[in-house]
Amino acid sequence: MNIGLIVAAGRGHRFGGPLPKQYRELGGVPILRHTILRLMRHPGIAAIQVLIHPDDQGLYDAATAGLGLRPALHGGAARQDSVRLGLEGIADLQPKNVLIHDGVRPFVAMETISAVLAALERVPAAIAGVPLADTLKRVADGVITETVDRRNLWRAQTPQGFDYAAILAAHRRAVTENAGIELTDDAMVAEQAGLAVEMVAGSEENFKITTETDLQRAAFLLGLERS
């Protein structure tokens, strides 16, 4: 059984405004609902579990009305904590694999989800991403100090898929062995645990909405999808 774990417990401080970004409207619908529906529509995902901030229960209930989801789980102080709590919270489903996805990536393609799931048939961990196209510069105090070779460099996206037992063990291990180290995504948690992580092709449309400019881009893309 493949379970989708959607992380939506953040506060979105970079976005500004009274609402956390996952509850801002996109085409009259909360961003989070768009994201949930994407994963729900994929035939390879049997159930969805969402992680939210404890203060957002009312917003979440309104955003997900009628979807028939499992009760939301509350996240922790950091993303890593939230994911671990989510993994613990779906143990009753006895998942084989789990796909961890950002609540503010509403344009993930069905093909991307399928590619991650296909990779999990041969490896314990696989994530979506896109290769870097821009020239990279290292800068100190506003001055370029180095041009960085971009060959073999990718931008990580979600979903990030894992053998459930393996990633749960990795997150539990990280609590003690990597205390004080910021592990910025679940692939990094897996890497620290010695798991090989395969990269599969994502898409430029699978971007994370973190600013007002991103929201404007999302509105434009949604308009193209609906036209």
pTM here is 0.93
Give the side-chain half-sphere CA count within 13 A for 204. 5
pLDDT of residue 227: 66
Neighbours of 88 (CB within 10 A): 12
**pLDDT digits 0-9 by tens, 46-65:** 999 999 999 999 999 999 99
pLDDT of residue 12: 61
Q: What is the DSSP string of 5-24?
A: EEEE----TTT-SSS-GGGS
